[in-house]
Amino acid sequence: MEETTFIPMKLQSMHSPIFPLMLVFVMALVSIEVSGCAGGAASEDVTESSQPETSVARDISDVELLALIAERPNLLLLDVRTDREWNAGHIEGACFLDFLEDDFPAKAQALPKDRPIAVYCAAGGRSADAMAFLTQHGFKEVYNLRDGFYGWEDAGRDVSNAPPVDLPSKE
């Protein structure tokens, strides 16, 4: 007498030769639904104001910062180190706003959001936090000097002892 193996119906369908095809079909339907292609999205009138605004928030090298300074006359260069660090030397043309001071958030939010901003600190940590703060508060173009002022000095870049440029405010 031949022995038969009992396989529940649910498992039998998974061993069917058409199961992989059914699985692909179901996954394709789910993919279409999730991506929003199921309901005539191509016929919608999409205006420019309904598109999300793009923003830039990224680390840059000293070479990239030099290029930004040369190419973007409206660039706001922001030193977020302490007063003591600032007085030891800084990048020419920088504004000064200590990230560790209690008034940083209020003063930073008063800056014009329509200008590109390059921030730096001693090594890149505080300025990365400052960049995150600025982007979270609606600034659209923010750069962080990757290795900070130490990297700037190590690359042999000019160091200034001039007074800070006045912080601009929203107009």
Model pLDDT for residues 29-42, shown as the tens digit of each residue:
444 443 343 334 33
**Range from 20-24, 51-55, 135-139 carrying the lowest mean pLDDT:** 20-24
| Amino acid 61: pLDDT | 97
Cα 162 from Cα 96, distance rounded (Å): 11
Across the chain, what does the average pLDDT equal? 81
Model pLDDT for residues 90-120, shown as the tens digit of each residue:
999 999 999 999 999 999 999 999 999 999 9
| Amino acid 54: pLDDT | 72
Q: Which residue in 151, 132, 168 sits closest to 65, CA to CA?
A: 151
pTM: 0.69
Q: Which residue in 11, 8, 143, 131 sits closest to 69, CA to CA?
A: 143
| Amino acid 16: pLDDT | 56
Cα 31 from Cα 75, distance rounded (Å): 43
CATH fold label, 53-154: Oxidized Rhodanese; domain 1 (3.40.250)
Domains of the chain by residue range: 53-154
